[in-house]
Structure 1
Amino acid sequence: MNSPITNSLTQIRTALKEIWGYDNFRSPQGEIVNSLLSGKDALIIMPTGGGKSICFQLPALLNTGLTLVVSPLVALMENQVEELKQRNQKAALLHNELSSSQRRATLQALEKQQLRLLYLSPETLLSPPVWERLCQPELQINGLILDEAHCLAQWGDTFRPAYRRLGAVRPALLKTKPVGTKISIAAFTATADPSAQKIITDVLQLQKPDIYKLNPYRDNLHLNVRIAWTPKGRKQQLLKFIQKHHNQAGLIYVRTRKDSEELAAWLTELGYNTASYHAGLGATERRAVEASWLTGKIPFVVCTCAFGMGINKNNCRWIIHFHVPHLLSEYVQEIGRAGRDGKPAEALTLVSEPTGFLDSEDKQRRQFFEAQMFKQQERAKQLAKKIPKQGEITAITRQFSDGAMALSLLHSNGELKWLDPFHYVINSQSGHQAPTQLQAAKEMTRYLYTKQCRWNFLLKAFGFGAEAENWRCGHCDNCRK
């Protein structure tokens, strides 16, 4: 049986100083640490660069058992674990890019209860070798942390079906532990509108969670949206911006792997020192590009949304969205890479004129996204007619290539319940509309063409309307006009 550890404020601050070198917390870090140390569930929304990782790392290191950190990206896990190891802390990670010897060493450390923090993806958490070890009765697990929790509410080509099964993890683990064991759950993200907050709370089955919400406003981050009338004009605006920010660190976001490679090749031909980055690259290539950018060997990277989360470079001065993100949550995550040192930074988005007559690329991308969402829904409906009303996910995915996605969509509609992380039962039709995010995509379009203060728009979109009332940032393009 585990029980929350009681630490005095002095002990907590001492640990903060010894491990990270900080004398005190930034608000509301101290309150969040206390909440997690007391074993409560929590939902935490903090801006990128707000110091959220300390909020769950410190309680985990002060406790005696294990805290599981579910994280979406290898780079995100590697950066956080490397920093903890440099501070001589008992942290490790598991992902499918590890060598067999590294994986074996981590699993042994897990079995011997030598770890305080174990980082893994949702897919790794639910893989048989890992799950079997986590279910050992003698393994003390204190908490489950979901980092970048907005991924749970995000649909489309980047969605990971395993996220929808995470709500069944705690009840299943508790069945294998001594009576009286408690496992808390805390979800952390920089971007969750009220709808996403409800999805996160419901799917994870958070129990009376403490909720901490900080608005995403950054007074040093200047937002700018410019119309690119033609494809050629879009490239000309990009070059003009890069020349203006010569030798400053930045990121250029595009939509697809092909876009990333072609734009990086074009800029390289013009003499710029850059690189392409996307999820299709091998692990070694991705790490090499990340290291080159972090150390300043290349000033900017042409990347898809695969680049960003967990990659901490304080002096990134600018972000360009060469192509428009589909969702505001993606946009806020990506612009949050800039100006983390508190100094002025600029976020420029290039967008086609609204009709799409002169440059139809943005319109075509938006229509493709909507069509993909519709196809996902239709495939799920058709598959629901073919699969057993009760079953096991591995058998379904073996028989149907889209099985995991379909089960997740049925779960989001309220038509499916996970009996545990591996077994499901389909209920009668609920009549709920799945979160296709088409409405969220329309919100992104409204943001691009709004005439109001851009930060005011973002604050309202993410549920901070009261704070945004009759307020203007004074430094976005609309305010400057």
Structure 2
Amino acid sequence: MDYDNQKWINIYHTFETIWGYKEFRPPQKEVIHCLLKAQDALIIMPTGGGKSICFQLPALLKKGLTLVISPLVALMENQVNDLKNKQLAVDLLHNEIPRQQRKQTLNKINKQQLRLLYLSPETLLSLPVWNLLIKPHIEINGLILDEAHCLVQWGETFRPSYSRLGAVRDALLKNKPTNQKIAIAAFTATADPKSQNIIKNSLQLKNPQIFSISPYRKNLNLAIKIAWTPRCRHHQLLNFIKQQQKQSGLVYIRSRKDSEKLSQWLQELNYKVAAYHAGLSPIQRREIEDKWLEDQLQFVVCTSAFGLGINKPDVRWIIHYQTPFLLSEYLQEIGRGGRDGKLAKTLTLISEPTGWLDPSDQKRNQYFLQQLQKNYQQAKHYFKQIPQQGNLINLKEEIPKIEIILSLLYRWKKLKWIDPFNYELTSNLSDLNISQISKKSQQESQQMKQYLMTRACRWQYILNAFGFIKEAKNFNCGHCDNCLRK
């Protein structure tokens, strides 16, 4: 590496002083070096692999401010509180922060007193925050996208602000001194080759270094079981939980209503459990997270809103009471087990393939696809009203769903962002084939279905799906249900 010895001595000294470690795990050192050299990067490392240190350490060593774009308040607070306990110059902004605290944080940014600032895409692109960050005197050295798979999974309709992040760097640099550089790095635990391309293109990464570590975790045992009826599903869930005794775990479910219903049933059976979903208030969510972390709750019945970045090392089991729509979601969620390197069991319950006895899995998938189709059709309905060039904020009153529509058009390569607020259509919208786009979504759901039905090693299937073709060749983990059956 082209850093001299003295610089690496300083890096190691900072690393040991703040975090207490003497050695980096692969590829932490290479990633840190890349970011210190202000190069763009895409980093794919398994859950619990030490991703956050890779961008926190360079941010503390460099002059100026590093912006960390993070999807969830719980995830931000978890990391920021940890860094504040180490007396570091770090803060966060989100819409749940009291006005006085927000004012103090904005003042710290203005006085350049921070090294790291955590915020969501929506907060970054809110006008009061944006108008402060573009001021020439505020030096910004890096833009980190944490949990970058959210850009792929949520960026089209659920969190459309993600689609505008690619225009952020150039818009910031226009207002800064000419010698200022801003590196962009995206971190995630799951990104197949297609998702990697979406991340690279959406963020407009420039010759990024790719660090891709195999998702295989030898301490995670994978198993799938057919639940022939809804009653059978309940029975298998209880059997599995009883086998884990009092150990900490998670039950994943796909809807708010189902999480409440299942949690109530389990509470009646005297389990220490709570339902967790995006419909809860921020205070309720924090309370459940804290109780789970402190083992006051044995497990949580949760939607995908739970667990992202929350560091609980001793999660011994994960059960999917209902299957995720995407394989990347599944891999994220099972990755929350066994972060301490010790054994963790996972089980996914599925309906029998015909759906005659229990059509619930098929209905959920159909509903998800129908919702996507509905969003696409609504977007098409407004196409004639969208001017060739425009400003997102000015159009909001005329077209309430303009942000989602522009996000979809960006993903479909029909639009470019001039800056995070102004766009230009790049081609005629009349040739847009909505049914073709819907077919692609259906193909993505097929990948999860194939995984559930495969008779081959489950880890081999995951390795192939995420582009680790060489590693997958003749691979048998020896501890998934299919390998054990053989």
Instruction: Report the alpha carbon displacement of residue 179 of structure 1 after superposing the two structures with TM.
Output: 1.1
Aligned partner of 1:470 in structure 2 is: 474
Deviation by residue 1:248-283 (Cα, 9 ceiling, x = unmatched):
000000001101111000101111111010111111
Q: 1:238 to 1:280 in 2, by over 3 A?
A: same
Alpha-carbon distance in structure 1 between the residues aligned to 2:458 and 2:143: 35
Could you tell me which amino acid in structure 2 is paired with residue 280 of structure 1? G
1:332 aligns with 2:331: yes
Q: Is the 8 A contact 2:154 2:160 kept in 1?
A: no
Aligned partner of 1:357 in structure 2 is: 356
Alpha-carbon distance in structure 1 between the residues aligned to 2:206 and 2:348: 40
Q: 384-393 vs 322-331, which deviates more?
A: 384-393
Instruction: Report the alpha carbon displacement of residue 157 of structure 1 after superposing the two structures with TM.
Output: 9.0
Structure 1 unmatched runs, 5+: none
Q: 1:472 to 1:300 in 2, by over 3 A?
A: same
Alpha-carbon distance in structure 2 between the residues aligned to 1:6 and 1:289: 47
Report SS of the residue matched to 1:467. helix
Q: 13-22 vs 381-390, which deviates more?
A: 381-390
1:277 aligns with 2:276: yes
Aligned partner of 2:135 in structure 1 is: 136
Sequence identity percentage: 57
What does 1:221-236 align with in structure 2 at a 5 Å threshold? 221-236=220-235
- TM-score, normalization by structure 1: 0.97
Aligned partner of 2:82 in structure 1 is: 83
Aligned partner of 2:111 in structure 1 is: 112
Aligned partner of 1:200 in structure 2 is: 199
Alpha-carbon distance in structure 2 between the residues aligned to 1:276 and 1:297: 14
Instruction: Report the alpha carbon displacement of residue 166 of structure 1 after superposing the two structures with TM.
Output: 0.3
Instruction: Report the alpha carbon displacement of residue 418 of structure 1 after superposing the two structures with TM.
Output: 0.6
Aligned partner of 2:484 in structure 1 is: 480
Aligned partner of 1:437 in structure 2 is: 441
Alpha-carbon distance in structure 1 between the residues aligned to 2:6 and 2:442: 46
Instruction: Report the alpha carbon displacement of residue 156 of structure 1 after superposing the two structures with TM.
Output: 8.4
Aligned partner of 1:454 in structure 2 is: 458
Could you tell me which amino acid in structure 2 is paired with residue 229 of structure 1? W
Q: 1:34 to 1:157 in 2, by over 3 A?
A: closer
Could you tell me which amino acid in structure 2 is paired with residue 86 of structure 1? N
Report SS of the residue matched to 1:92. strand
Alpha-carbon distance in structure 1 between the residues aligned to 2:6 and 2:466: 34
Q: Is the 8 A contact 2:163 2:410 kept in 1?
A: yes
Report SS of the residue matched to 1:399. coil
Structure 2 unmatched runs, 5+: none
What does 1:43-122 align with in structure 2 at a 5 Å threshold? 43-122=42-121
Alpha-carbon distance in structure 2 between the residues aligned to 1:180 and 1:10: 27
What does 1:174-185 align with in structure 2 at a 5 Å threshold? 174-185=173-184
Instruction: Report the alpha carbon displacement of residue 438 of structure 1 after superposing the two structures with TM.
Output: 2.5
Q: Is the 8 A contact 1:222 1:346 kept in 2?
A: yes
Instruction: Report the alpha carbon displacement of residue 321 of structure 1 after superposing the two structures with TM.
Output: 0.4
Instruction: Report the alpha carbon displacement of residue 428 of structure 1 after superposing the two structures with TM.
Output: 1.5
C-alpha root-mean-square deviation of aligned residues, in Å? 1.6
Q: 1:157 to 1:296 in 2, by over 3 A?
A: farther
Could you tell me which amino acid in structure 1 is paired with residue 67 of structure 2? L
Report SS of the residue matched to 1:326. coil
Alpha-carbon distance in structure 2 between the residues aligned to 1:371 and 1:434: 13
Q: Is the 8 A contact 1:409 1:434 kept in 2?
A: no
Alpha-carbon distance in structure 2 between the residues aligned to 1:89 and 1:344: 34
- TM-score, normalization by structure 2: 0.96
Report SS of the residue matched to 1:154. helix
Aligned partner of 1:392 in structure 2 is: 391
Q: 384-393 vs 52-61, which deviates more?
A: 384-393
What does 1:341-356 align with in structure 2 at a 5 Å threshold? 341-356=340-355
Instruction: Report the alpha carbon displacement of residue 372 of structure 1 after superposing the two structures with TM.
Output: 1.2
Q: 1:229 to 1:165 in 2, by over 3 A?
A: same
Deviation by residue 1:409-439 (Cα, 9 ceiling, x = unmatched):
1111111111100011112137686585322
Report SS of the residue matched to 1:187. strand
Alpha-carbon distance in structure 2 between the residues aligned to 1:392 and 1:421: 9
Instruction: Report the alpha carbon displacement of residue 98 of structure 1 after superposing the two structures with TM.
Output: 0.4
- Number of aligned residue pairs: 478
Alpha-carbon distance in structure 1 between the residues aligned to 2:96 and 2:231: 40
Alpha-carbon distance in structure 1 between the residues aligned to 2:104 and 2:235: 52
Q: Is the 8 A contact 1:156 1:373 kept in 2?
A: no
Q: Is the 8 A contact 1:6 1:38 kept in 2?
A: no
Q: Is the 8 A contact 1:6 1:37 kept in 2?
A: no
Q: 391-400 vs 452-461, which deviates more?
A: 391-400
Alpha-carbon distance in structure 1 between the residues aligned to 2:427 and 2:157: 28
Instruction: Report the alpha carbon displacement of residue 158 of structure 1 after superposing the two structures with TM.
Output: 7.2
Q: Is the 8 A contact 2:271 2:298 kept in 1?
A: no
Alpha-carbon distance in structure 2 between the residues aligned to 1:7 and 1:230: 65
Aligned partner of 2:187 in structure 1 is: 188
Alpha-carbon distance in structure 1 between the residues aligned to 2:399 and 2:122: 18
Report SS of the residue matched to 1:337. coil
Instruction: Report the alpha carbon displacement of residue 310 of structure 1 after superposing the two structures with TM.
Output: 1.2
